[in-house]
Chain A
Amino acid sequence: MRRTIRFTVNGDPVEVEVQPHWPLLRVLRDELELTGAKMGCGEGECGACTVLVDGKPINSCIYPVLEAEGKQVLTIEGLVSSENELHPIQQAFLDKAGVQCGFCTPGMIMSAKALLDMNPNPTEDEVRHALAGNFCRCTGYVQIVESVRHAAELLLKNAKQTGAGE
């Protein structure tokens, strides 16, 4: 029995026919062709599928799509600006080598975004805590943590500049 649900993805309203038992990840990847979020386990363990729903990081592989009804979903594809510029968190992951194979990266960046939205200047422990649900087999996490803290600096600098410009 299919149902139609409506929600917003990266600012665009969408209307999708879904099976009620589908997880959000399946709809994002297969129906909406937003393949940035990755399936690393499908069991809520690895965080590769992390997207933000109303600003909160969730494991979209186990998040029932019906719960997204009427909500704002943000995926990695929604971070690049309309001028095609990288988001500071994305830039920071390149600058500080927070990415190696890149499979965990979209999820990592979304978890980092949720953290920095709430806590613009986190300590190392706060970053490590926020990323505890995102596995990475390549980096050993050190340069991911450095990337997130570097992103915080970039974002604070940007905020100051815009603040000063006003």
Chain B
Amino acid sequence: MAEQFVGKSHPRFDAEKVTGKARFINDIKAPRMLYGKILYSKRPHARITHIDTSKAERLQGVRAVLTGFNTPDVRVGFLGDQIALKRDKVRQFRDEVAAVAAINEEIAEEALELIRVEYEDLPAVFDPIEAMKEGAPLIHEVDARGKPRRNNILPLPWKLEAGDVQKGRSESAFVVKDTFRTTWVHQVCMGTSGCIAEFDVNNNLQFISVTNVPFGGKDRLDMFLRNLGIRGSTRILTPYVGGSFGSKLDTDIYEFIAVLLAWKTKCPVKILFDRLEEFTASPPRQPIIGTVEQGCDKDGRLTFRVVEMILDNGAYTSWGATTPSVMMVPISTLYRVPNISFRATCVYTNNIYAQAMRGYGNPQATYVVEQSMDQLAVEAGIDPIEFRLINANEPNETSPMGLKITTCPMKECLEEVKTRLDWKKKQGKHDGHGVGVACFLHVGGGARVYRSDAQGLILKVDDEGKVTAITGGTDQGQGSETIIRQMVAEATGFRPQDVNIFQGDTEICPWDVGTHASRHAFMVGHAILMAGAQVRAKLLAMASTWMGQLISRNLQKKARQDPDFKIPDVDLSLLSNPENLDISNGQIFLKSDPDNKLLRLPVAQIVRSAHMVGTGRGEMIVAEAFYDPPNEMLNAEGKGNLSCCYTFGAHGVEVQVDQETGQVTILNYVAAHDVGRAINPMLVKGQIYGATIMGAGYGLTEEMQVNAGRVMNPNLLDYKLLTAKDKIPIDPVIVEPIEPSGPFGLKGIGEPACVPAAPAIANAVADAIGVRIKDLPLSPEKVLAAIKGKGR
């Protein structure tokens, strides 16, 4: 390809971050700013009988003490199943029962200690299966509209049926069925959550937020203001964000509380979580109990798949409860399965509740499906990779869910794993050394979860020859500050270093649905192509007006200054036709004579001339685009082409299991990924490395230990993240089928590598020790127990 900037490993444009100048929410202060702190429940399920805040109110330096008793009863959350400060009862340990604002953090904390809350305990339920039973304690007696509830099952009957499962079953030569469990894991962003809320005298709210979804957040806060009876609207500003991984999609309760405190005090109020709060009061990834049954014919072709998922929803509902919509993608479409049945039940319990985390349900679903694939391969007596190759997805197919697959190098990825791991030699030994594989697919071209999946973009060219991209998207580290510059440069004819980016202000930036679903590069890329083409066309038209006279003036000037200079015999009239002109590196030149220095001008000079022409005749260069992709919302049956394209891949792992300690060591790790096209291969690898390590942590070490509703390991010592010392030799393989629906051929790559890591590791461990561990994570204790129990 003749592209100049796209496809290159351009260094990151992130000088702010390496110099300590990047301002995160932690680093921002406002004049008269107060510090907000939240008092959480001491019980998992109880009636609040009394709250005494009088002592806290009297403490010097305290400016506001709020509870559910002195704030309006405004429901929040996507099912409207909670209020910011709880009044009648608490349903989990993280329930917010009171909040204070004070002139500093110490006073705010002291005030919390002075608040007395009296509870009357209620029977609690922590197991989703128990919670589904008749007679289980009701977590919510009524729903958001006040209608009595009869049980703890959420009114979200996730379901997908395709083909004829009975028929599939009857055609099967081999069938396996098993149940797997995954646990809570936390996003553990290195930057903890926080916000600053401030009202102006017109009751408008300025909200500095770490959100990835500024316009969705604005909608939620605007509705909150309306319901509070405040006639104002919200402007969201986003600073640098210390990681997200899904944790910053929903508007969280502390954010509503900051608004209440700011309204009460009419001062800016900052709430910043400490690490303990981050672990205990921010919603992690949802645990599941997944039962999967699937079969194949005697040749190994899949005949049917039935999956039942039970999700522990915790006490309230955030995006975690919608993850089954993405689970459907792998359950229906990972490999070619004609007959599908999927059902997911979300159940209220007195546990913590969950929201999005990298992969959005896909890691859990792929975990159960891919282990079952290995079990079925064993049953059918086929090598696990061969079994997957027999059933691999192919390009240009429509899956039972209605996903239209475009490009699909799944087989290529599997072959890469096979060769690079030397699979044939190592598989099937059960001698403490083993190999495992897992594939995945994920949305690669957005996901229409709302009526719009659009991104807006404005490009403006200034008279210094710089382009500013004003975008509604956000960056939380994935590298859009670099690839946006590469793509804008490519689309407009400037250089990456001539591109500036402005984002993070809902007042100025054009609308965007949010930086989720690995969609940002895809959407912004298309918007860049659309707006970039306009910029080029406008610039060439402008140049055709100005270049002739500017160049002729330049030549005459040169001749005046240098008597030896002869004005060359050139046909300047060629310059007055835009079709004869082109732009590259910020210079406009004659296509037919691109190397002629006399016939080229910097864009800056042309734009400046167009700005400075005199009354009423000036022009500027601004272009806008609103790209909304041709993907579909799922219909009532859960079907539709959710994304413009899907990304595929395979992870292969070689492990050594210590038979004495149960310790799993990863000796080799191949991560083969279909990325459509890598805009910046170095950054693509960065996403693969980061997400793979996160997925490997999910497989091996990470677990929020939740005991009777309480998080028992809410710190970085006891929550085991992988560190630099856990050397996992990842071999990232980038496969580039050039996706026709993608801008420059790309597909999204933010989440995928997090999906297949845990099942690939679990399959490798099963291959190494000859027994399968069905619950995550594969801690040394569990592995050892499995080895010991093998003889029985």
Q: Interface residues, chain A, CB within 8 Å of chain B?
A: 29, 34-43, 45-46, 48, 75-77, 79-80, 86, 90-91, 93-97, 99-106, 109, 124-125, 127-129, 131-145
User: What's the nearest-Cβ distance from chain A to residue B194, in Å?
Assistant: 11
Q: How far is the CB of A129 from chain B (nearest CB, A)?
A: 7
- Tell me which residues across on chain A come within 8 A of B24, comparing CB atoms: 38, 103
CB-contact partner of B19 in A36, A139, A141, under 8 A:
A36
A105 close to B23 (CB less than 8 A): no
Known: A43-B716, A128-B727, A138-B690. A100 touches B477 (CB 8 A): yes
Bound: A76/B96 CA distance, A: 37
A102 and B15 form a contact (CB under 8 A): no
Check B242 against A103 for contact (C-beta < 8 Å): yes
A38 and B477 contact, CB distance less than 8 A: no
Chain A neighbourhood of B241, CB < 8 A: 101
Interface centre among A48, A103, A135 (most CB of B within 10 A): A103
Q: Are A135 and B723 in contact (CB under 8 A)?
A: yes
User: Who on chain B is nearest to A43 by CB?
Assistant: B715
The 8 closest A-B pairs by CB, nearest first: A36-B20, A101-B477, A102-B17, A103-B242, A140-B693, A100-B477, A76-B20, A140-B689
> 18 more A-B contacts (CB under 8 A) besides A35-B26, A102-B16, A109-B18?
A29-B27, A37-B20, A38-B242, A76-B19, A77-B20, A97-B685, A99-B12, A103-B189, A106-B18, A106-B20, A129-B725, A131-B723, A136-B190, A138-B243, A140-B692, A141-B693, A143-B686, A144-B724
Instruction: Flag if B23 contacts A35 (CB, 8 Å).
Output: yes
Q: Are A97 and B723 in contact (CB under 8 A)?
A: no
CA distance A127 to B721 in the complex (A): 18
A48 to B387, CA, bound (A): 46
* CB of B136 within 8 Å of the partner chain: no
Q: Which residues of B contact A39 (CB under 8 A)?
A: 26
Contacts of B20 in A (CB 8 A): 34-37, 75-77, 106
Contacts A94-B11, A135-B723 hold; do A100 and B478 have CB atoms under 8 A apart? yes
Task: Name B19's closest neighbour in chain A (CB-CB).
Answer: A80
Known contacts: A39-B26, A77-B19, A105-B17. The answer to whether A45 contacts B716 by CB under 8 A is: yes
Looking across the interface, which residue of chain A has its beta carbon closest to that of B13? A94
Q: What residues of B have a CB within 8 angstroms of the CB of A45 in the complex?
A: 275, 715-717
Q: Are A38 and B18 in contact (CB under 8 A)?
A: no
Q: Are A137 and B19 in contact (CB under 8 A)?
A: no
Q: Decide yes or no: A90 and B717 within 8 Å by CB, A96-B682, A102-B477 being known contacts.
A: no
Partner of B192, one of A36, A40, A131: A40
Candidates B242, B479, B689; contact of A142 at CB < 8 Å? B689
- CB neighbours of A34 from chain B (8 A): 20
Task: List chain A residues, Cβ under 8 A from B191.
Answer: 38, 40, 101, 103
Can you list 6 A-B contacts with CB-CB less than 8 angstroms, sorted by A residue number?
A99-B12, A99-B477, A105-B18, A140-B728, A142-B685, A143-B686
Complex interface: chain A residues within 8 A of B23 (CB): 35
* A48 → B minimal CB distance (Å): 6
A99-B17 contact given A132-B724, A135-B190, CB 8 Å threshold: yes
Q: Are B242 and A101 in contact (CB under 8 A)?
A: yes
In the complex, are the beta carbons of B243 and A137 less than 8 A apart? yes
A137→B189 contact, CB < 8 A: yes
Q: Which of A40, A43, A129, A143 has the most CB of B within 10 A?
A: A40
| B321 CB contacts on chain A under 8 angstroms | none
CB closest residue in chain B, given A128: B724
Closest approach, in angstroms, between the C-beta of B85 and any C-beta of chain A? Answer: 26
B190, A48: Cβ atoms closer than 8 Å: yes
Which B696-752 residues sit within 8 Å CB-CB of chain A?
Answer: 715-717, 721, 723-725, 727-728, 730
User: Interface on chain A toward B: helix, strand, loop, or mixed SS?
Assistant: loop
**Cβ–Cβ contact A46 & B716, under 8 A:** yes
Interface size class for chain B?
35 or more
B16's nearest neighbour on chain A, judged by CB, is A102
* A-B contacts at CB below 8 angstroms, number: 172
Please measure, in the bound complex, the distance between the C-alpha atom of A36 and the C-alpha atom of B190, giving whole angstroms: 14
- The listed residue (A96, A128, A142, A143) touching B725 by CB distance below 8 A is A128
B386 within 8 A of A: no
B190 near A101 with CB under 8 A, answer: yes
Candidate in B191, B682, B728, B730 with the most chain A CB atoms within 10 angstroms: B191
A4 to chain B, nearest CB (A): 21
Say whether B309 faces chain A, with CB atoms less than 8 Å apart: no
- A132 CB to closest chain B CB (Å) equals 4
Task: Report if B522 contacts A (CB, 8 A).
Answer: no
Contacts of A134 in B (CB 8 A): 724
Contacts of B32 in A (CB 8 A): none
Across-interface contacts of B557 in A (CB, < 8 A): none
Cβ B243 vs Cβ A40 within 8 A: no
The answer to whether the Cβ of B491 comes within 8 Å of any Cβ in the partner chain is no
With A and B bound together, what is the CA distance between A117 and B715 in angstroms?
A: 31
For the complex, what is the distance from the CA of A89 to the CA of B724, rounded to whole Å? 18
Bound Cα distance from A145 to B192, whole angstroms:
24
**B452 CB within 8 Å of chain A:** no
Name the residue on B nearest A125 (C-beta): B727
CA distance A75 to B18 in the complex (A): 12
* Cα–Cα distance between A124 and B21 once the two chains are bound (Å): 29
A142 to B476, CA, bound (A): 19
Q: Nearest chain B CB to A102's CB is how many angstroms away?
A: 3
CB distance from B668 to the nearest CB of A (A): 14
A40 touches B478 (CB 8 A): no
Q: Is B129 an interface residue (CB 8 A)?
A: no
CB <8 Å contact, B190 and A43: no
A79–B17 Cα gap in the complex (Å)? 13
How many angstroms between the C-alpha atoms of A105 and B19 in the bound complex?
A: 9
B690 close to A100 (CB less than 8 A): yes
Closest Cβ of chain A to B249, distance in Å, is 16
A135 touches B685 (CB 8 A): no
- What separation, in Å, do the CA atoms of A81 and B315 have in the docked complex? 53
Of the residues B17, B190, B725, contact of A137 by C-beta under 8 Å: B190
Please tell me if B245 contacts chain A, counting CB pairs below 8 Å: yes
Given the interface pairs A86-B18, A97-B479, the reply to whether A43 lies near B717 with Cβ below 8 Å is yes
Known A41-B275, A76-B19; contact A97-B683, beta-carbon cutoff 8 A: yes
Q: Does B666 contact A (CB under 8 A)?
A: no
> Roughly how many angstroms separate A133 CA and B717 CA in the complex, as a whole number?
11
Task: Kindly provide the distance from the CB of A77 to the nearest chain B CB, expressed in whole angstroms.
Answer: 5
Taking a contact as CB atoms under 8 Å apart, the answer to whether A104 and B727 are in contact is no
Residues of A near B690 (CB, < 8 A) are 100, 137-140
Closest A-chain residue to B686, C-beta based? Answer: A97
Complex CA gap A134/B730 in Å reads 20
CA–CA, A133 to B19, complex, Å?
20
Q: Which residue of B lies closest to A45 (CB)?
A: B716
Q: Are B479 and A141 in contact, with the CB atoms below 8 A?
A: no
A43→B714 CA distance, assembly (Å): 12
B-side contacts of A131, CB under 8 Å: 723-724
Bound CA–CA A125/B725 (angstroms): 8
Bound CA span A28–B574, Å: 63
Residue of B nearest to A131 (CB): B724
Return chain A residues, CB-CB under 8 Å to B689: 139-143
